[in-house]
Chains A and B, each alone.
Chain A
Amino acid sequence: MTGKKLSLERKKMLAGYVYIAPWAIGFALFMLYPLIYSLWLAFHEVVGVGNFDLELVGWGNFNKAFVLDTQFIPLFISVVQDAVINTPLILVFSLFIAILLNHKIRGRAFFRAAFFLPVLIGSGLAMQQLLYAGVGKDTLVNGIGVPEEVFLYMGPTFSQIVFDMLSRLTVIFWKTGVQILLFLAGLQGISPSLYESARCDGATEWEMFWKITLPLISPIILLNLVYTCVDSFTDINNRMMVYIKDTAFTKIEMGYASGMGWIYFLFIFLLLIIVFASTRRLVVYTGEK
């Protein structure tokens, strides 16, 4: 009796490994091996460009990044700063938009489509063409309808600050499509009967937001937080990434580039562990066993 039960448990466990298998194989082939190779490269440097001769330099590449290279640390700090400023802005803005879109309003399908559209451009080559053409600069000013006279009254310095801030916000807003979509999917999943019963008990909209909406979409908030962080850190157009890419392929310092890559993503990894650990208590799963 007990033997049979044990084997069943075991069978179920083995099934778990079968489900993970495709990912594990892919991970070993397309991630783990290149990653280990790149770590090995980080302790070496290319000396002969022609036939890719390597020379052991030990911790030299890491020393170079933190001590010798004057560009690495300022770039690193500016990238972290961007992420720290942009992430809360994106999260709050996208939740705000998702809640507005969740109302019973006319043209909901249109608005929903409109807010996702910039995601179709992405941050790839098409977006680059648009930014070369100067689209990012005057969008928010035109969009909110701030008249140019306002900028005249503000004086050149202050108006320049406001203008820069608005154009920066525009580019941030264009990146929120995915987050809005995920929040909306989460909000749609909340049963209306919860709000009804809360309303019967005399709860206000404000209370319902904090007591019903927020706890029930907390898994989606975590998802969006992780997504936004990773998106801003591994964006191809991120200045740190461009610097690493140039070091590897233009200067052919592949060892140094691998070293910087390793420093960079160990930092991201630590950050994510902190995020997961600190939100563990805050996230509510309804179907948890």
Chain B
Amino acid sequence: MKPIPMSKTKQRVAVRPESIANRAKALRNNSVISRISSKSRWFALIYRIFVYVILIDLAFVFLYPFIYMITTSLKHPVDLIDFAIKWIPTSLAWENFYYGMKGLQFWTHFNNSALISVVSVIGQVLSCSFVAYGFSRIRFPGREVLFVLCMFTMIIPPQTIIVPLYMQYKTIGWLDSVMPLIVPSFFANGLRGALFIFIFRQLFRGLPWELEDAARVDGCGSFRVYWRIILPLTPPAIVVTTLLSLVWHWNDFFEPSIFLTSEEKFTLPMMLPRLYQSLDTLTGSSFEVFSLPVVMAATFLALVPMLVVYLFLQRYFIQGVERSGLVE
């Protein structure tokens, strides 16, 4: 072993810190650079304020229907006529919600809606991701043609096929039951099933192939690859599909209004147009007296389940998105 000459190391060590310090000093003294950095700091601040102003402004636009619904639903008829009162009612009229509950026959129809929506969502998440795996990760002849066909189903206006569907369900005795509304969901069809296949496919295609190859080398079958590797990697797709499918099934009225004929089987939003009628029979008088505040209370009640679910899923959505961000 040859000892390193002392003078040489000393020299090297001595030169370096000095030059770094000099350079840093020069940078600090350079007026042009300091001006630029202060300018960019101002720019950043203004940009930040701009972002907040735009976001708060537009958030108000997006929240307006809810603010309007809540404030109006808590108004007495007197407050409604008074133009001076725009947002805050003089006293809270909670009885509007009582009449809203009564008029909607809330719990009966809530149960109907919940059954249809929840079962359909489970069916669509499972079947659409399964089919999307086939469309995105396995090569087989005719795949592109079948996929085009699948997208084709998305654009079929529901009105075009409703008459034949009605006759079809009539012959198998599914009319006035929830079957026409939930069974297609388990076959990756149903309400916008093709769109959910598309969402899953887009996200599956973006995943690295190395993961799948590694699992296959280790002896994983394609179903296990789908179930244990691909599906757990796409929480955003699952949460997005769950949320959208739930909300659309909840608010859908075209198919339920045709396939469900007896009133006790109606979904919750379907009771909204019948509100006046059912309140008239309930109170035994003309309902006009209550009018708008009760209607708004009922509308809000019909949306509350979705609000609750959304507030609950929101957290999982953020987690899911961040987890997938780490993967890529």
Interface pair A185/B240, CB less than 8 Å apart: yes
A121-B65 in contact given A23-B197, A111-B59 (Cβ < 8 Å):
yes
- The chain B residue with its CB closest to the CB of A29 is B187
A220-B251 in contact given A38-B163, A129-B299, A174-B62 (Cβ < 8 Å):
no
Give the one of B187, B270, B306, B314 with max A CB within 10 A.
B187
Interface pair A244/B127, CB less than 8 Å apart: no
Contact of B251 among A33, A126, A140 (CB under 8 A): A126
The distance in angstroms between the C-alpha atoms of A164 and B249, with both chains bound, is: 32
Q: Which residues in window 29-58 of B have CB below 8 A to A?
A: 48, 51-52, 54-55, 57-58
- For residue B205, CB closer than 8 A to chain A, the reply is yes
- For residue A1, CB closer than 8 A to chain B, the reply is no
Interface pair A112/B314, CB less than 8 Å apart: yes
Partner-contacting stretch, out of A66-74, A147-155, A228-236: A228-236
Question: Closest Cβ of chain A: how far from B219's Cβ, in Å?
Answer: 13
- The chain B residue with its CB closest to the CB of A120 is B306
Partner-contacting stretch, out of A10-18, A57-65, A83-91, A206-214: A10-18
- The chain A residue with its CB closest to the CB of B185 is A26
Given the complex, which residues of A lie within 8 Å of B202, measured CB to CB? 219-220, 223
Interface pair A117/B164, CB less than 8 Å apart: no
The distance in angstroms between the C-alpha atoms of A25 and B183, with both chains bound, is: 12
Interface pair A173/B58, CB less than 8 Å apart: yes
The proximity string for A residues 270-289 relative to B, scoring 1 for CB distances below 8 Å and 0 otherwise, is 00110000000000011111
- For residue A215, CB closer than 8 A to chain B, the reply is no
- For residue A178, CB closer than 8 A to chain B, the reply is yes
The distance in angstroms between the C-alpha atoms of A219 and B311, with both chains bound, is: 28
A133-B187 in contact given A23-B150, A113-B314 (Cβ < 8 Å):
no
Given the complex, which residues of B lie within 8 Å of A272, measured CB to CB? 151, 155
Partner-contacting stretch, out of B2-10, B282-290, B319-327: B319-327
Given the complex, which residues of A lie within 8 Å of B159, measured CB to CB? 241, 244-245, 248, 257, 261
- For residue B98, CB closer than 8 A to chain A, the reply is no
- For residue B186, CB closer than 8 A to chain A, the reply is yes
Interface pair B269/A126, CB less than 8 Å apart: yes
Contact of A140 among B61, B165, B292 (CB under 8 A): B61
Q: How many residues of B contact A (CB 8 A)?
A: 99
- For residue A268, CB closer than 8 A to chain B, the reply is yes
The distance in angstroms between the C-alpha atoms of A9 and B57, with both chains bound, is: 57
- For residue B173, CB closer than 8 A to chain A, the reply is no
Interface pair A126/B303, CB less than 8 Å apart: yes
Interface pair A109/B318, CB less than 8 Å apart: yes
Question: Closest Cβ of chain A: how far from B289's Cβ, in Å?
Answer: 17
Interface pair A181/B64, CB less than 8 Å apart: no
- The chain A residue with its CB closest to the CB of B52 is A105
Given the complex, which residues of A lie within 8 Å of B199, measured CB to CB? 182, 223
Contact of B156 among A100, A125, A265, A286 (CB under 8 A): A265
The proximity string for A residues 13-38 relative to B, scoring 1 for CB distances below 8 Å and 0 otherwise, is 11111111011111101110111011
Interface pair A129/B139, CB less than 8 Å apart: no
| A-B interface pairs (CB < 8 A), number | 280
- For residue B184, CB closer than 8 A to chain A, the reply is yes
Given the complex, which residues of B lie within 8 Å of A109, measured CB to CB? 314, 318
Given the complex, which residues of B lie within 8 Å of A145, measured CB to CB? 57
- The chain B residue with its CB closest to the CB of A114 is B59
Given the complex, which residues of B lie within 8 Å of A116, measured CB to CB? 310
A33-B127 in contact given A124-B252, A289-B209 (Cβ < 8 Å):
no
Contact of A15 among B138, B189, B247 (CB under 8 A): B138
Give the one of B57, B135, B157 with max A CB within 10 A.
B157
Given the complex, which residues of A lie within 8 Å of B69, measured CB to CB? 130
The distance in angstroms between the C-alpha atoms of A129 and B303, with both chains bound, is: 12
- The chain B residue with its CB closest to the CB of A286 is B206
Interface pair B207/A287, CB less than 8 Å apart: yes
Interface pair B189/A27, CB less than 8 Å apart: yes
A26-B321 in contact given A15-B138, A100-B51 (Cβ < 8 Å):
no
Given the complex, which residues of B lie within 8 Å of A195, measured CB to CB? none
- For residue A47, CB closer than 8 A to chain B, the reply is no
A26-B189 in contact given A124-B269, A125-B273, A126-B272 (Cβ < 8 Å):
yes
**Which positions in B face A, CB cutoff 8 Å?**
48, 51-52, 54-55, 57-66, 68-69, 72, 127, 130-131, 133-135, 138-141, 143, 146, 148-165, 167-168, 184, 186-189, 193, 195, 197-199, 202, 205-209, 222, 226, 236, 240, 244, 247-248, 250-254, 269-270, 272-273, 292, 295-296, 299, 302-303, 306-307, 310-311, 314, 318, 321-322, 324-325, 328
Sample of 11 further A-B pairs with CB below 8 A, known A38-B164, A248-B162? A23-B127, A29-B184, A38-B163, A115-B59, A116-B310, A117-B66, A117-B307, A122-B247, A124-B252, A125-B272, A173-B61
**Which positions in A face B, CB cutoff 8 Å?**
12-20, 22-27, 29-31, 33-35, 37-38, 41, 97, 100-101, 103, 105, 109-126, 128-130, 133, 135, 139-140, 142-145, 170, 173-174, 177-178, 181-182, 184-185, 188-191, 219-220, 223, 226-227, 230, 233-234, 236, 241, 244-245, 248, 254, 257-258, 261-262, 264-265, 268-269, 272-273, 285-289
CB-CB nearest 8 A-B residue pairs: A26-B187, A19-B134, A261-B160, A16-B140, A122-B251, A143-B61, A124-B251, A34-B164
